[in-house]
Amino acid sequence: MQKRKLGNSGLEVSALGFGCMGLNFLDGKGLDKKEATTLLRNAVERGITFFDTAEAYGPYTNEEIVGEGLQPFRKDVVIATKFGCKDARPTTGLDSRPETIRAVTEASLKRLKTDYIDLLYQHRVDPNVPIEDVAGTVKDLIQEGKVKYFGLSEAGPKTIRRAHAVQPVAALQSEYSLFWTEPEKEIIPTLEELGIGFVPFSPLGKGFLTGTIKTKLEEVDRRNIIPRFSEENIKANLILVDALSKIAKQKNVTTGQLALAWLLAQKPWIAPIPGTTKLHRLEENIGSLDVVLTAGQLAEINNTVNGITVVGDRYPEVLAKQIDK
């Protein structure tokens, strides 16, 4: 498995991580604890060392699954988790008060069955708490040995700079894929300047870039709350997937592998975290590491994406309000 360092922090992870949210939280067809444990351990056996969870996934249950599944390999893996959602529920609001950060960290340590968290993210920027106070609290937790590295999620350039001045930010986790290239405008240049790693979540466009979504989603699927996944918008956005699938066929790879290979080719300090509940999808994702895209192929992909307008917002209104600008 290829390894990558997240910016200048020194934190080394597998080039491809594992987004754990969907194990029991995302699309209504999650795994039971035994199945999830088996999949997590299969990921470790195949070289994945970077696993992402949060107290808000469940809430709480995802951390328990990750903690139990990875316990035999704890010293060999990097576990990232998050604080910042009020009562661990994103739709309830935000809470990054220092006392809350400490309480959440202590609870996460217990659920994860560990005495340290490798990478602790602020899940969303709390406009009611100065980011300097947030960074300062995590800095204290790092000095106490309970946390190793500090991260932010969906933070804007100004917030990143302010936080980084108090406690170096090891990584930013935000959405980035061929389905959402907005970070290229301001986020990626900021991270490159400051030496911060980038961990794209939803690198497969929440599954859309795999080409497996052709019509409306099942009623139990949590993605139904996302405007981009309305039946009408799915139909419109298939133009992008169809165009990418033609390029993928020329390379003799899947559309999902093409999408991940494109992300990996952008910067050497980018480590995407695709999630899955299926072993064959895990193996397919790992196969993207062997896909080499030439400059011409990258240009073709970029031209294709730039020529197509993706329809629909990536968050429902209640969650869109939480995105830092």
Quote the CA–CA distance of 265 and 293 in Å, as a whole number. 8
Over the chain, what HEC string results? CCEEECECCCCEEECCCEECHHHCCCCCCCCCHHHHHHHHHHHHHCCCCEEECCCCCCCCHHHHHHHHHHHHHHHHCEEEEEECEHHHCCCCCECCCHHHHHHHHHHHHHHCCCCCEEEEEECCCCCCCCHHHHHHHHHHHHHCCCEEEEEEECCCHHHHHHHHHHCCEEEEEEECECCECHHHCCHHHHHHHHCEEEEEECCCCCCHHHCCCCCCCCCCCHHHHCHHHCHHHHHHHHHHHHHHHHHHHHHCCCHHHHHHHHHHHHCCCECCCCCCCCHHHHHHHHHHHHCCCCHHHHHHHHHHHHCCCCCCCCCCHHHHCCCCC
Known catalytic membership, residue 57? yes
The answer to whether 264 and 15 have CB atoms below 8 angstroms apart is yes
The answer to whether 272 and 203 have CB atoms below 8 angstroms apart is yes
The residue from 57, 121, 149, 176 that is catalytic is 57
The answer to whether 126 and 134 have CB atoms below 8 angstroms apart is yes
Residues 6+ apart with CB under 8 A from 82: 53, 54, 55, 56, 120, 121, 122, 123, 153
From the list 2, 39, 47, 1, the residue with the least C-alpha distance to 20 is: 39
- Hey, which residues are catalytic here? 57
